[in-house]
Amino acid sequence: MRRASHWFVPLGFVIGLIWIGVFRSTWRLYGEVGSIRPVPALAVVLVECLLTGPFLIMGLARTIHLLAGDKPRRPDEARNVPLSPVGTLVLCLSILAEFVFILSLPAEGGWWPQREGWKRYLNLMYPQPIYQPLLLAPIWGRWAILLAATIGRTAHGADATTVALCSEMTTRRLLRRTIIPLVLTAFYCGRSHNYMMGVIVALIVFCAAYLVSVVMAVRGGGQTRQSLYASGLVGQLAFLAVYRALWRFIHL
């Protein structure tokens, strides 16, 4: 599990590239409806549900299902148990929220640090602003799983893989895993007049994922595999929400 934790953030980077590829290809194929792109946004959500939806999205729905009610259910409850109405509602709202956040991303012109000279070849590292949150959101989502694994203890009845990951994750290891998401966010969100904007976005995402992880660990008697997945989805949605809310400050 110590070795596996190295691959969480790179996996998020690969998924982000898949998001960009799906969005770009469907945008070219179906175009826009006015100033929005419903088909590309829907395509990204569908791909997300096919790739990691059975884990992250169902993890949040299953966690709320387990924690709903006066007495929390057992964390080792069979996964084929039907979701409660609250869990089903969370499942639908999480999918809808991701679709709306991606749909609302403005398609503004690109920005590059260099217009001439040899450094202009580095402009390939700067995708158009609409693609940047599509790359960064999955990275922060997978990082949030590691954050949740660092918080608290594992619940009674948690599977062996979750216990191993939580026992191997420490604050020092988490900080090392934070370097790539933080640098990329500062790289894309910072400008000459607002270098700290990327750090602000990262801090807000950290606070949201941290609070949710603590609440789920306390309420559920410790971390489970489903609560780790739930924290990942919360981190992913939190980044999309914060990025969209601060768009006008990031891309001035």
**HEC readout, 56-79:** HHHHHHHHHHHHCCCCCCCCCCCC
CA distance readout (Å), 178 to 88, 92, 161: 32, 30, 22
Q: What is the mean pLDDT of residues 164-182?
A: 91
115, burial (CB in 10 Å: exposed 0-12, middle 13-18, buried 19+): exposed
Mean pLDDT over the full length of the chain: 86
The secondary structure of 67-132, three-state, reads HCCCCCCCCCCCCCCCCCHHHHHHHHHHHHHHHHHHHCCCCCCCCCCCCCCHHHHHHHHCCCCCCH
Most confident of 23-27, 154-158, 167-171: 23-27
Q: What is the mean pLDDT of residues 106-134?
A: 69
pLDDT confidence band for 251 (50 / 70 / 90): confident
What is the residue type of 250? I
pTM of the model: 0.89
Angstrom distance (rounded) from CA 41 to CA 104: 9
Per-residue model confidence as pLDDT tens digits over 90-116: 999 999 999 999 999 988 755 555 555
Per-residue model confidence as pLDDT tens digits over 190-234: 766 677 888 999 999 999 999 999 998 888 888 988 999 999 999
Q: What is the mean pLDDT of residues 11-17?
A: 94
pLDDT confidence band for 250 (50 / 70 / 90): confident
How many independent structural domains does the chain possess?
1
Query: Could you count the other beta carbons within 10 Å of the beta carbon of residue 166?
Result: 24
Which residue, chain included where needed, has tokens 């934070």?
178
**More confident position, 52 or 122:** 52
* pLDDT reading at 49 higher than 80: yes
The vertex-125 CA angle with 191 and 22, nearest 5°, equals 110
Query: Could you count the other beta carbons within 10 Å of the beta carbon of residue 146?
Result: 22
* pLDDT reading at 135 higher than 70: yes
pLDDT score of 207 = 95
* pLDDT reading at 175 higher than 60: yes
Instruction: Please answer whether residues 112 and 120 qualify as being in contact, where contact means their C-beta atoms are separated by less than 8 angstroms.
Output: yes
Instruction: Please answer whether residues 189 and 252 qualify as being in contact, where contact means their C-beta atoms are separated by less than 8 angstroms.
Output: no
Q: What is the mean pLDDT of residues 118-135?
A: 75
- 3-state SS class at 50: helix
- Domain coverage including residue 212: 4-250
* Cβ contacts of 129 within 8 Å, gap of 6 or more: 106, 108, 110, 111, 247, 250, 251
* Cβ contacts of 100 within 8 Å, gap of 6 or more: none
Instruction: Please answer whether residues 165 and 47 qualify as being in contact, where contact means their C-beta atoms are separated by less than 8 angstroms.
Output: no
Instruction: Please answer whether residues 151 and 217 qualify as being in contact, where contact means their C-beta atoms are separated by less than 8 angstroms.
Output: yes
